[in-house]
A and B are shown apart, each in its own frame.
Chain A
Amino acid sequence: MSNDKKIPHIDKLSRQLADKTMDRREFVRYAALLGMAAPAAYALAGSITGEPFAPPASAQTTLPKGGILRIGNRVKEIKSPHSYSWGGYDSNMSRQVLEYLTYTDIDGVTKPYLCESWTVSDDLKTWTFKIRKGIKWRKGSDFTAEHAVWNLKRVLDPAVGSSMIGLMKGYLLNEKTGADGKATTEIWAPNAIEIVDPLTFRINCKVPQVAVPEHLFHYPMAIMHPSENGVFGVGSDGTGAFELTEFELGKKAVFKKNPNYWGGAVALDGMEHIDTGDDPTAAIAALASKQLHGLVFADPIQYEALKAQPHLAFYDVATAETAVMRMRPDAKPFDNPKVRKALRLASDPAATVKIALQGLGLGGEHHHCSPAHPDYAKIAPFPRDVAGAKKLLAEAGFPNGVDGEIFCPTDNPWIQTMVEASVEQWKEAGIRIKITLMPGAQYWDVWTKVPFGATIWYHRPLSIMCLGLAYRTGVPWNESGYSNKEFDEILTVAEGTVDLAKRKELVAKLEKIMQDDGPIVQPIFRSTFTFMDKKVKGFTMHPTNYLFGWKIGLEA
């Protein structure tokens, strides 16, 4: 542990672990984020608490060799990884070819990947990343810091339209007025992202930020070869364990293993993603006849039918995956914060979890921070209060109730059920909302425009990541157009606070703002789950539905 001394805030973290204001999992997460190697962090945690705390086995146990893994997944457009918007569908294709600088495991611990280590300054502003030696692109060239920096700068270019801007705006971007007079962003300083030597690069933040390594694993942050100009497809160069050899939209994607993978021998000969379409029963039939070995993720509708098949194994994990019913504060009648709060007060999360998820999930508190997030803060309960909702509506000038329309995509049945349940609950408070159903593809055309809509949000490892992506002023994924200066300021401070107790205090304030003023009604968090053939070895369910072909083996 020669570099322990260099890691700032470790003493503070150790003290929190010792006096039990932080649990061991959190200790390891933060120590790892700040640059301590994960095994060292686990060991240190053990020595402080006096209990042995073995890290989950990360070494690849002997996986059976050979075979083609066939996975059911929607085969959608994958041309532009830096502006992906799905994660489960698109990034799970390119993920087999393109890798990431860091790796956040299923416990939320961020570990080395293309970067073998990193260090951060005491003020949490200067992050230095060391790239692992000997990483080669499949086509033969060496992976260097120059490549990493090219990718980082590209995702921060507003013209690319990457959601990374939402994550990094607070600490790496300045707002400016573009040539056309419209608001845009630029990297805050010329040396914000700099190459130190061929295997080292540095990120200089405007304000302290603790989650930089975690952000580097966000799915649009795939590392591409600069010569391909951000376009991904068959034959694209990658550092990953596989090569994409065939791709047919809506049908299938075929991967072949990269025999010279830097990470060592890959167990599978190849992988296929097969699209079974919109009908969830088609996937059930495909698993029953063993045409597929598994699904990237299963739907609650498929649960009973798949559970009944003896050759399948069930995997699940609690997550911060949710759907929010969000209102645009610039559209009537949602322009009045009292109306927005009334909708929250009139909804009944416990009932909605039962109805929409068959109990496979948790109630939400309308602030998008989940108990599955380590920086979640427990604040005063926000119980259902129909009388309170009516009172607020009257104060807002709607003594006879209020009317509205919610747009709901039909591509996830549980979201539709959630909306239907909520609409029924709102009726009791005199809130009359009409549901307009839309096919998913059509909804994603207008998701940032409809006055009131239901949008799926996948898991992110930290609650401040969710808040930064979706509610910070002016970021691409701020679908409601929500803008609250106080919220933005607290969020930026929270992003730079390593002390978990202090961070939670800030998150508590953000949660309160969301409940009082925010743009969403958010009654549920769902557990994500899937089924895989028992022949599939080495698979674990990642909370973000990520699939890692290089960790999987297939029994003959």
Chain B
Amino acid sequence: MGERGVNMIQAIGKKLLTTVLTLLAASFLVFATAEFSPGNVARKTLGPFASQQSVDILYERLQLNDPLPIRYARWLGVLLGLKADPLQDPVLKLDFKDPRGDQYFGNFGYSTLYKAPVNDVIWGRLANTGLLAGLAFAIIVPLSLSLGILAGMREGGPLDRSISIFGIVTTSIPEFASGVFLVAVFVVWLGWLPGTSPLAGSTGWPVWTQLVLPVTVLVLYDSGYLIRMVRGSMAEVMAKPYIRTAILKGLPFREVVTRHAMRNAMIAPFTVILLQINFLISGVVVTELVFAYPGFGRMILDASLFGDIALIEAATLIALVVAITTQFLGDLGYALLNPQIRLS
């Protein structure tokens, strides 16, 4: 027992280390991609109406001529709070003020699109999407687990057929189509729900009503896929010899399912379910666009279209952290669910 505990801690330590290394490598790639996008950083920062002269001055001050690894190291230094943010240097007269100062841990720089420190922009958006994604996740998981298990219990039965058809249909309708369809029915025809979700309380509709349609679109799109995953895994387990033995031994079917089948059937879908968190955080762009939802996905889209380098870098890093964390949790949970697998 003691030995296993030590192994476990070592394994987790190793995992954490690879996580940090992955983050570093990925952030370098993000940085390099953003810096190589068309147009130079100085021009992007100053906007289309700035004179070439001021662009040149900024270019020089930011030392944009330096090789990429050096610029990356400098950027990392600012991010970690080891270095002052050069953009905030009053000499540049950029009016980039950050109330937190020019040197602190987690300094993502200044968003040229929103004309504000990235930290002032990004967290509110992330919270909005977190709300949307959290609600959707809270419905998607129990819904797809229960429907998937029900379908997989008796493969080929009428219940299985109808649930599978439902899953295939909802997954194959893209979000923009189901969004428009739901708006046509519940907003234009029935008038029960608001058509957009700006999350402003004053628009005549309480904020919770504005969440109904976007959450529904996400649930419809995503749960069909998960249902089929769970169903497949469940059906496979149900065909295993030990289940047959249990049934033949005369255990009630209900008990066979709950006691013996479910835990084993959850192992494969578990990772897939955790992956949905990543999808829900950064893959909700379409839903956010259709419902004018002020979220993280729409912000990333706007930032990429605008070429707001600091914001893209920060958003991608955050999405990365979310992805790596869920994967880390996934590995841990997998080990707990499946005693055959050792972390080491």
Contact = CB atoms under 8 A, between A and B. Distances in A.
Interface of A: 68, 70, 77, 79, 83, 85, 161, 180, 182, 231, 248-252, 272, 274-279, 281-292, 439-442, 444-448, 476
Contacts of B44: 445
A476 B52 CA distance: 12
B195 A286 contact: yes
A286 B48 contact: no
A334 to B, nearest CB: 21
A165 to B, nearest CB: 11
B294 interface: yes
6 contacts: A284-B195, A286-B203, A290-B204, A291-B205, A439-B305, A476-B49
A282 B49 contact: no
B198 A442 contact: no
Contact of B193 (A70, A289, A292): A289
B121 to A, nearest CB: 8
Interface stretch (B2-10, B183-191, B229-237, B319-327): B183-191
Interface string B164-196: 000000000000000010010001100101111
Given A277-B292, A279-B290, A445 B48 contact: yes
Given A441-B306, A447-B48, A275 B194 contact: no
B227 to A, nearest CB: 29
Given A182-B53, A291-B204, A275 B198 contact: yes
A549 B180 CA distance: 32
Instruction: Choose among A70, A252, A288, A476 the residue with the greatest number of B CB atoms under 10 Å from its CB.
Output: A288
A146 B298 CA distance: 44
Contact of A70 (B39, B202, B307): B202
Interface of B, helix, strand, loop or mixed by DSSP: loop
Contacts of B205: 289, 291
Contacts of B95: 231
B149 interface: no
B299 to A, nearest CB: 7
A291 B306 contact: no
A442 B306 contact: yes
Nearest to A411: B305
Contacts of A276: 196, 198, 292
A250 B200 CA distance: 13
Contacts of A447: 48
B187 to A, nearest CB: 5
B185 to A, nearest CB: 12
A343 B254 CA distance: 78
B180 A281 contact: yes
B198 A251 contact: yes
Contacts of B199: 251
A251 B305 contact: no
A70 B200 CA distance: 11
A312 to B, nearest CB: 13
B291 interface: yes
Given A252-B198, A289-B194, A442-B307, A277 B49 contact: no
Contacts of A289: 187, 191, 193-196, 205
B289 interface: yes
Contacts of B38: 442
B115 interface: yes
B302 interface: yes
A440 B306 CA distance: 8
B115 A278 contact: no
A291 B203 contact: yes
B25 interface: no
Nearest to A290: B204
Nearest to B304: A439
A286 B196 contact: yes
A442 B305 contact: yes
**Nearest 9 interchain pairs by C-beta:** A285-B195, A439-B305, A441-B306, A276-B292, A289-B195, A282-B292, A291-B203, A286-B196, A289-B194
Given A180-B53, A290-B204, A250 B289 contact: no
Contacts of A279: 289-290, 292
B11 interface: no
B307 A445 contact: yes
A182 B54 CA distance: 12
B74 interface: no
Nearest to A77: B115
A85 B204 CA distance: 32
B44 to A, nearest CB: 7
A250 B294 contact: yes
Nearest to B303: A441
Contact of A286 (B116, B121, B292, B294): B292
A286 B48 CA distance: 32
Contacts of B307: 441-442, 445
B203 A249 contact: no
A249 B289 contact: no
A182 B115 CA distance: 29
Nearest to B194: A289
B53 A275 contact: no
B50 interface: yes
A286 B43 CA distance: 36
A85 B49 contact: yes
B114 interface: yes
Nearest to B298: A277
B48 A448 contact: yes
A217 to B, nearest CB: 21
A446 B48 contact: yes
Given A79-B115, A249-B116, A289-B194, A275 B187 contact: no
Given A282-B196, A285-B195, A289-B194, A444 B48 contact: yes
B111 to A, nearest CB: 9
Contacts of A445: 39, 43-44, 47-48, 307
Given A285-B188, A445-B48, 13 more contacts: A161-B49, A249-B121, A274-B200, A277-B292, A279-B292, A281-B290, A282-B196, A289-B194, A290-B204, A291-B204, A442-B39, A442-B306, A445-B307
Nearest to A182: B53
Contacts of A68: 202
